Chain A
């Protein structure tokens, strides 16, 4: 992997970390100091900083470091979360995002204000002296001499620690290198804290088939494990990450330690949401090309079956066609799955939107998502992005009451917007629910008459459902004030049009005082898309 590839990978991975960071910061504001969330927050910034260190991105490192310091205080219970703190961390996250999006220009992104604000918070934090018994050293570290200074420095730079097992012949000699050259190269990529050679595996001189000497290295580096494996050219099984949590505890117990700054970083609790080592990133265009080729293959198969009329006297040809059919169907199924993404990737775009809306509108808004795991095709994800954003803005602006109004009605001051996905007989159903004031049917009908969309007689004859659907009429709006949030009166029409382009329908349910639900029902496959193979979750009947 060359430098530009690694940098490209950093951009993608840092983007993921920052997305996770943003979502967790917003949850922190509404959900409180959940330890797992605080660990994830810390870990996200820590990872960005660590890899940025590998590439020498000093602006990223500087900003990430101060964020990390604040998050460490939060994590360790030495600082309390507040809406203002979340706001400051989000502002810093925005700057980090700008920096990592274009690492070459990261130094030109101004982040002085964000850093100053966060550093101001750190200055008020007293140093804390911690006294506790030294933790037991894990068995796999017993062979090493743990140098506190080296480890502290490495962790202070955001580095990860690994135990790397090197087989002198299988890994080093096979790479055409001498041990010294190999170790020197490793030393340029991180810090060799200690080594351990398994001498017991080697017999005496009369051993004509001597065992391959195994050298274990305690290695600190900014690189993530997959990069270490690739750089060392070793199987993944020969790399063992060292729990930073242990190292932090261990360092605290070293007699010479006395930090004013939180030098140590702790690895968060395992995040089981996905396993990076089991995933691979490929460009969407490549998947679309693959999908297209599979479609062509399927058409070729169909043509072949048609030409042979589905039967042939030639047994070998019949068997070959049968095999081709099975393989093609398997490919279709696999590609259909590859082309899908969990709808959570779409829902994950809105926590920040909702947070900003709440800030602007002076409302407390909680975003809930249900059915994140439902898989839909990428065109649906992209096609729904704008309509959902508009519907969320509408719910926040028009649906949810102000905190005072809600409390007057005996509701919680904070409102909830829920995004819910489900599968329904080959259709994907997306609901945008709010627990706000609900729709005022009289007002909607009056507005429609006033705007000349319907006559008073038509309004009188309409069912409640028909009146509710008037909000999707072009030019309809009940908002008395046009805002930059949601209101010029054409949004719901555009939503309906865009959903229609995806082959879907939109409907609305509402109950006065209880809230409103917009329902989008879409075929799992948008119009014009090649049919997916049966059995896929998004198209299952």
Chain B
């Protein structure tokens, strides 16, 4: 997982899909990066490389959000693909994740 620290914010670039097969590994990595930047005032989850999130992946992102709440740092998601944005909107996570509402119907049939 790549990281950038800029303007007091830690950007965490997820390397791909967030699935049950890699959440444990990602969880460890996230904890490590958050520990490495205790001074960060905000965390940005960059999902530009993630096309798919399953149930455990979603749980991981919620855990990251909750972790930031606990640490009293801001959290936001950036660059989600449209489907992931739709999922966040459908589950009312978009606002919590600092995303603007989806321009298209939330769950339009594909």
Contacts and interface: CB of A to CB of B under 8 A. Distances in A.
The yes or no verdict on A and B being binding partners is: yes
Interface of A: 168-169, 172-173, 178-180, 183-184, 187-188, 192, 194-197, 199, 202-207, 210, 212-213, 215
A188 B54 CA distance: 20
A239 B86 CA distance: 24
B39 interface: no
B59 A168 contact: yes
B104 to A, nearest CB: 13
A192 B70 contact: no
Nearest to A211: B59
B58 interface: yes
Contacts of A203: 63, 66
Interface of B: 20, 27, 30-31, 34, 52-56, 58-60, 62-67, 70, 83-84, 86-87, 90-93, 96, 106-107, 109-110
A361 B93 CA distance: 69
A179 B31 contact: no
6 contacts: A173-B56, A179-B58, A184-B109, A195-B91, A202-B63, A205-B27
A179 B56 contact: no
A210 B63 contact: yes
Contacts of A169: 55-56, 59
Contacts of A192: 90, 106-107
Given A183-B90, A205-B30, 17 more contacts: A168-B58, A169-B55, A179-B55, A179-B91, A180-B53, A180-B84, A183-B87, A187-B109, A202-B62, A202-B63, A202-B66, A203-B66, A204-B67, A205-B60, A206-B31, A210-B60, A213-B62
A206 B60 CA distance: 11
A178 B54 CA distance: 5
A202 B106 CA distance: 24
B76 to A, nearest CB: 16
Contacts of B55: 168-169, 172-173, 178-179, 213
Given A168-B55, A188-B109, A213-B58, A205 B87 contact: no
A168 B27 CA distance: 18
A183 B56 contact: no
Nearest to B62: A202
Contact of A178 (B52, B62, B67): B52
Given A168-B59, A180-B86, A199-B62, A173 B67 contact: no
B93 A213 contact: no
Nearest to A166: B55
A205 B63 contact: yes
Nearest to B27: A205
A188 B105 CA distance: 13
B92 A195 contact: yes
Given A179-B91, A187-B109, A215-B91, A205 B58 contact: no
Contacts of B56: 168-169, 173
Nearest to B32: A205
A215 B87 CA distance: 12
Contacts of A215: 91
Nearest to A200: B66
Contacts of B70: 204
